[in-house]
Each structure stands twice: as C-alpha cells, then as structure tokens.
Structure 1
C-alpha cells in the first residue's frame, strides 16, 4: 500500500538474520490488562465533599501510578469519533505525499515515522505521527475538515488539562499562577499517532519505552490496546475504556513536585494484523520556563525546559534513548 512508511527498507540490515534474537518484549494478553484508577470528573461540580474526594483521587493516582483515566471529561464521543475518522484519512495519504515538506502546510519534521537512526532491534519503532503546535493548526487551510476537528478537540482538552493541573498543583502547594505565567495554548502541542500492522509483532515496539517531557499528557486511544506502563517493576497493559481519556504525569511535573508525582515509563507494543490510532495532548511550558521545586530537600537541580529538551536531544543522538530526569538529579 502506497501510504505505508518503508519500515522494512530502513530496518532491513537490523532484521537480517536477527529475528531469533530475544529483544525482551514480554507482552500482556487481554486477561492481564490492568484497570487504571478511573475518576469521574462530574464529582468536581457536585457538593464540597464530592469535589474534595475527586481531587484526592486525582492526586492519589498521580502519586502512586502516574497514570489514571477520566470519564465525564467534557469531550464528546461524537468529536472523538470524528477525530479518528480524520486521522485515518490523513494517514491514508501516499507516503511520498505526507512525508513531503509542504504537506498540511506544517513546519518541517511535523511528520515523523519509525526510528531511522536505530542501531539495534530494541530501538525499532513501528509507528508514524503528526506533531503540531496548536498555533500551527491554523495553517492547515487546505484541509478544512481536519483543521476544524483538531481545533474543536484542542478547544475542549486544553481547559481540561488546566483544570487537572490546577488540582494537582494545589495538592503539592504549587501556585497555579506559575502555570498561568509559563504555559499557554501556544506552548502545548498535539500528536496524531498511527501504529500500522507489524509483521513481526509482538517482537517490536510501536512506541519505544519512554517518559513524557511535559507537565501533563492527555490521550485518547482506540479499543485495540497496546499501551503499557511500568508499575512496580512490571509492564502492565492499559485496558481500553471507550468512555475514558488516559491522563499521565510528565517529567516536568515530577521534577516540580520534587518526585511526589510519578512520570511513569510507558510504551506501545506493535500489533500484527490491526492498526491502532491515538491522539495525545501535551501540556508544556515556554522554552525559558524554570523548573524548580520549592520542597526540601530538593531532588532535582534547577533547569529550564529548553535545557531539558537540549539534553534529551543530545542523549537520543548519542545513545538512541532518552535519559530524562536522572540527568538533573542533585
């Protein structure tokens, strides 16, 4: 199919005579899927007792899991279904077309696929994605349906992220004004993900193990499954919930909360016969935003978001992997 990225071509040398090598991916079958903490956000608008209880559930999940699911989140099923249809359509464009510089009229490197710099089987990634900062969405004037659907999604999920961040900040005595000063719609971004069928599944990743370089990430995944997170030293699969959005803590919030909140390592395992779609919203600050906890004793050095991104880029180029917050430990 002309829309599939040339995975076999870029991974050819790595794959030759190497498929009998154990790359260490132990996948969970559906009976081993875990139930993430499920939080009903409608309780926030009920009585004082229900609101306090809901806030405790959110902060508790962030402390113990780093992941949770939310329902009654304000994003309609109709909008989510429309977004999935638009994703399917845009990813069905010929590879030569969607990988060209001017596709969707987005900045260079908005479209990304696989891991062309992989040097071993553990670094193989079987996925493609469109990364877009929210201000860039307005540039997609030749794709009005996709643009309007993404704008509608962003207009709902952005205030949801702010609401969750405000609750989490309050629980660790961080003033919400910090986020108001350092974050905005112009600093956050969306990523549309597609995980094509992989003939070598479940041997390879759709998305490599990593933590998110954000304060907070909100994800809508389809019902295929494949998202896994590290919990108590073991990989557990996140059971899809058609009514829920998945929320996870990012590295910046772990650092800002002095390690109180967990930025959990997670990954996506490739599927053999079906494709998987998801969309992620990353709540990020400006490049010059200072990440510094005021809780004592401090676990992490003071750093800016720009310094964190630069260090991550260096590590990826040098080692093929993101090292993350351990670079900034005191």
Structure 2
C-alpha cells in the first residue's frame, strides 16, 4: 500500500528520480495544441438522419485517426456522472478501506496497484494508481469487485451493461462499413471485458513524468471516459495533439486487434496521458478484448488477389505474450505478426486457390 501514489504524493515536494522519464520520451515544456479536426460523432443524430452516413462517419474516423469522440451515445448521462463520482469516492477513501483490494499479483481478477503490473522491475514508474477488474460476464466477477463505496457494485454494474451495449452497436456499424457479415465481432472477439480506472494525483513536475507513456491499445476497442481535467494526447503525423474533454462523451479508441482484422484499413493510434501539478485527474477505461484462445487474423472478406493479408493468424494470448515480453507497446508490437514481403506472393496464390474452392462450394450448395 505504501507504493500507492495516493498514499504519499500529496506530501511530495519534488519528483522522485524513479518517476523521471528519459529526455526523449518525457512531455517537456512544449505547449501541445488541441486539434480541432479530431472527429466528434453525434450518434443519435447521425443514425436518425441516415444510417449509411453514420457508418461512413465512423469508418472515416477509424481510418484517418483510429479514434473519435461519441456524444448522444445512449448511455445514460446521469449514470456516466454517477460512475465517475463513485470511482473518485473509491480513491478518496482511507488506505485501510482500500487495502482489501490492493494487490501486487497481476493474476488477480480485481486489484488496486500503482504504475504497472511489474512495478519492482520497471525502469521508470508511471504517475498513476490503477483499479481494474473483469466485468464480463458480470455474474462471474461482481463478487470480486470493491465492497466500498457501498454503491460501487450497483453503479458500475449498470455502467458496464450500458457500455457493453454501446460497444456492440459501434462494432456492428464498423463491421457493416468494412463489408463484414452481421455479428462478425461476436463473443470470441469481444468475450473478455475490463473496467479500469486511472487515478492521476497532482504531480510535482509534470514536464518530467507521465501518467501513461506513448502506446497503442492491445485490445480490440476501448471506450474511454474522461473527467473535466485534460490529460489525453494523441500522436499524429509526428506531433502530439491534445484531446479536449467533452462532458459525458466517450473517446472510442481502436486497438491492435481491430487493425489486424481490418487488414490495416483501420489504424490503432499512439496516445499517452500527461499529468498536471494542480488537480487530480480520473479516467475510466472500458476495454473490449478477444478471449485468449480466439484466432485473430485479417477478415477473409477483405482478402483477395489485389489485397494480400498483411498479418498472419495468431491466438490473442500469443499476441499478449509478445506484447509484454518485447515491451514495445506501439506499432512495433505487430511486427512479429506481419507477413513478410517474400510470403505475400505465396499468400496471393493461396487466396486465388481458396477463391476457386469457395466457388465450387457455392455451386455444390445450389444443386
């Protein structure tokens, strides 16, 4: 518990050396501008006006940016506020009330910890505490969630159900936009879901520290809820840009698995979380992940003789192992799963052969 920032950061007069990032990765003093072109999609209005137009808005955002903010999304605004309030209540509790959830064992399905899962071996610590737990199916995990605040389980349960429903709607629109069959993002690709809260206390020197370093998400898709404090930045065309918080909006961020399944048509953006010296900041991350044994590969509907597969098939647990072993959390995490140039011609022959087999299958079915 003594490692938790919330246990000691308020009395820190200077930034401990173990939290100082290398020069090439620290945020520095440069004023990072907000980007006015980051997409904001009014889901209710877009769908009411024209479903096809709504799909194209989402698809373009996923292709050009890899993320977008969504408003009027169907998750109850009072519930959104209540969930943010209850997780802030959790972090404001005395240490003795949080002690039952604190753990340094990364295998635990619900735990409070600081920095990363590997605190004792990391080169530099992150300026954040994190609470995370599994939440799908809820009945399997809710008894592991924090018992305090007393309303935590009821509020987060309803939030998880509504965000899960939103994620299904968004993924179905993405699937339709890519030309995939209905229900493509089924239980295998979305069967593991995590609720995660990042708590960033005021930092003595925000120019030297980071709440989260530059990274791409390993999951399929993330639904991020920010509080009113700015802290999210996205790396685009060699520059950092700030993402302005919008009340009750979700930041929808594509993960590496979406990039693979779309065969590179959609991108997983690099982003980070900065700190500030005056205010606490809280963000809630709801990440949608494939089940460990699920095979991840470019969707077959997107592969033909002019569009070779860019990635080989792999199990999601294989990707996660490589992601953690290499500790390359950016585009390089996909390097071992890319199909090398010399294999693409062989792949194209297989695609043509498979096309013939599919035609024969269709003929057989129509007899």
The TM-score normalised by the length of structure 2 is 0.77
Is the Cα contact below 8 Å between 1:218 and 1:246 reproduced in 2? yes
Which structure would you say has the larger Rg?
A: 2
Q: 2:221 and 2:22 mapped to 1: Cα distance? A: 38
Aligned residue number for residue 147 of structure 2:
142
Is the Cα contact below 8 Å between 1:114 and 1:126 reproduced in 2? yes
Alignment counterpart, residue 167 of structure 2, candidates 146, 161, 182? 161
Is the Cα contact below 8 Å between 1:3 and 1:93 reproduced in 2? no
The farther-off stretch of 257-266 and 129-138 is 129-138
Is the Cα contact below 8 Å between 1:315 and 1:321 reproduced in 2? no
Is the Cα contact below 8 Å between 1:312 and 1:322 reproduced in 2? no
The TM-score normalised by the length of structure 1 is 0.85
Distance 1:119-1:193 versus aligned 2 partners, 3 A rule = closer
Aligned residue number for residue 178 of structure 1:
184
Q: 1:320 and 1:183 mapped to 2: Cα distance? A: 20
Distance 1:255-1:74 versus aligned 2 partners, 3 A rule = same
Alignment counterpart, residue 227 of structure 1, candidates 212, 229, 232? 232
Aligned residue number for residue 67 of structure 1:
67
How far did residue 109 of structure 1 move? 6.4
Q: 1:137 and 1:176 mapped to 2: Cα distance? A: 30
Any idea what the Cα deviations from partners look like across 1:82-122, whole Å, max 9, x if unmatched? 1122111111234465355578xx936622212424655xx
Question: 5+ unaligned residues in a row in structure 1: which ranges?
Answer: none
The answer as to 2:209 corresponding to 1:204 is: yes
Alignment counterpart, residue 313 of structure 1, candidates 305, 324, 349? 324
Aligned residue number for residue 86 of structure 2:
86
Other structure's SS at 2:196 match:
strand
How far did residue 62 of structure 1 move? 0.1
Any idea what the Cα deviations from partners look like across 1:196-237, whole Å, max 9, x if unmatched? 111011321111111111111111101110100111111100
The farther-off stretch of 255-264 and 37-46 is 37-46
Distance 1:96-1:312 versus aligned 2 partners, 3 A rule = farther
Distance 1:169-1:271 versus aligned 2 partners, 3 A rule = same
The farther-off stretch of 171-180 and 106-115 is 106-115
Aligned residue number for residue 55 of structure 1:
55
Q: 1:215 and 1:20 mapped to 2: Cα distance? A: 30
Q: 1:322 and 1:65 mapped to 2: Cα distance? A: 14
Alignment of 1:13-162 (within 5 A): 14=18, 23-26=25-28, 29=31, 32-35=33-36, 36-47=38-49, 50-95=50-95, 98-100=98-100, 107=108, 110-115=111-116, 116-117=119-120, 120=123, 123-134=124-135, 135=138, 136-140=141-145, 142-143=147-148, 144-162=150-168
Q: 2:208 and 2:217 mapped to 1: Cα distance? A: 23
Distance 1:20-1:69 versus aligned 2 partners, 3 A rule = closer
Q: 1:77 and 1:182 mapped to 2: Cα distance? A: 30
How far did residue 275 of structure 1 move? 0.8
Other structure's SS at 1:247 match:
strand
Q: 1:180 and 1:71 mapped to 2: Cα distance? A: 24
The farther-off stretch of 197-206 and 174-183 is 174-183
